[in-house]
Chain A
Amino acid sequence: MSEHNTHIEEHRDDEASKLGMWLFIFTELLLFGGLFLVYSIFRLQYPANFHESSLELSVTIGVINTIALLFSSMTIAFAVTAVQKKNNKLALRMIGITLLMALVFLVNKYFEWGHKFEHGLYPGSDLMQLLERGHHLYFSLYFFMTGLHALHIIVGMILLIIVYFKVKNGSIHHEKYVFMENGALYWHLVDLIWIFLFPLLYLIS
């Protein structure tokens, strides 16, 4: 034991970091919650229009995207467990799979949206102006909600890429991984929102 004990206590409060992340998640939940509320009120007002419009969406693409997101949610939880168990190699692989699933989701969304754009169906298009009010509202909400959700996917991917490199260079390890936990929390939030978006937009008719 040296007499010059220069052990530096790191100032860190993982509980507080997580609490902060959760507070942010609350604002996100209420943001999407508000949109769900708008959706349900207009659905009550225009049930027939909403029913017809929802038939335009491809359930198959919706199901593939749901599976991709659920699976990616598990792989990122796997990655956190792997880091806790000092298995960084597995963690990196799991983050990689998560990012791949996110990409699958976005490519699917690209084709889904692209198909609608080809038919002249996009916010502000001439066709949209001609639609009945209920159809117009449905597709406006569809584009806004899935668009905002896709934006969250992109932000989540950026976060997870940062996590990937932090795990790789060793700044995230089994004793210090709160940044990774918070990134994973964000990713689960994206999954959580989709759990409600998918049945409401694609299935219920």
Chain B
Amino acid sequence: MANNGSHITEYRVLAKILLILMFCTFLTISVTSFHLGALTVTVALLIAGFKSFLVLSYFMHLKYESLLLRILVSMVFVLFIVIVLITFIDYSFR
């Protein structure tokens, strides 16, 4: 076997993920049409975060990749969140 143990994601799994992604998109649109202030941004970003999790795990096959790769990818997101936090702390205490 050339690609030892490589996982094949079935068509119907991919199609289901697309449906969830579409649903989330319309959810975002309807949520943002209510003006809830800061809450709107939070909800929109949470939904976007969930959508990117689905794309990363299923479309980008991360769910079936090695632990090393999964840890590396999560570390990049942790790094980004740390950068955001530090910048915002800096910005608010100037």
> A interface vs B, CB < 8 Å?
12, 14-15, 18-19, 22, 26, 29-30, 33, 37, 40-41, 44, 59, 63, 66-67, 70-71, 73-74, 77-78, 80-81, 84-85, 175-178, 181, 184-185, 188, 191-192, 195-196, 198-200, 203-205
Number of interface residues, chain B, beta carbon within 8 A? 47
Q: List 26 A-B contacts (CB under 8 A).
A: A18-B69, A29-B80, A30-B76, A30-B80, A33-B83, A41-B87, A59-B29, A63-B25, A66-B25, A70-B22, A74-B18, A78-B14, A80-B9, A177-B3, A178-B3, A188-B55, A188-B56, A195-B55, A196-B45, A196-B48, A199-B32, A203-B28, A203-B29, A204-B40, A205-B32, A205-B35
CB 8 Å contact bits of B33-51 with A (1 = contact, 0 = none): 0010000110011011001
Majority secondary structure of chain B interface residues (helix, strand, loop or mixed): helix
> B interface vs A, CB < 8 Å?
1-3, 6, 8-11, 14-15, 17-18, 21-22, 25, 28-29, 32, 35, 40-41, 44-45, 47-48, 51-52, 55-56, 58-61, 65-66, 68-69, 72-73, 76-77, 79-80, 83-84, 87, 91
